[in-house]
Amino acid sequence: MITAAQLRAARALLGIDQRELAQRCGLSLPTIQRMEASEGVIRGNVDSLMKLVEALAAAGIELIGEGAASQGGGRGVRLISPAPKAGAGDLA
């Protein structure tokens, strides 16, 4: 599974625009735009999702699932859930 946020981040790490990504994975620009605009996990045709993931992997992107360890080397980023903010009534 890949989220819209992961897709946007992957594209940013590669330094490519949506049109370039569409060309690399053989999908249309509107398909990439829809995927990036979605909320949470991208839903769509399994074949399209596989083309996308394979193109990202070929470009050097490792998609890391929730709670999974990265097995590859290299630099990267990971989004974690922020710690809850202490409220006015909380004792520290």
Structure tokens that stand for 38 in this block: 């979605």
Average pLDDT, the chain: 87
Structure tokens that stand for 20 in this block: 């370039």
CA–CA separation, 49 vs 18, rounded Å?
15
Q: What is the pLDDT of residue 6?
A: 93
Q: What is the pLDDT of residue 92?
A: 52
Cα four-point dihedral sign 83, 84, 85, 89: negative
Long-range contacts, 69-77 (Cβ 8 Å, 24+): 76/13, 77/9, 77/13
pLDDT per residue over 4-40, tens digit each?
Answer: 999 999 999 999 999 999 999 999 999 999 999 999 8
pLDDT per residue over 66-82, tens digit each?
Answer: 878 877 777 777 777 77
Query: Which domains are delineated in the chain?
Result: 4-58 (1.10.260.40)
Cα four-point dihedral sign 9, 15, 19, 22: negative
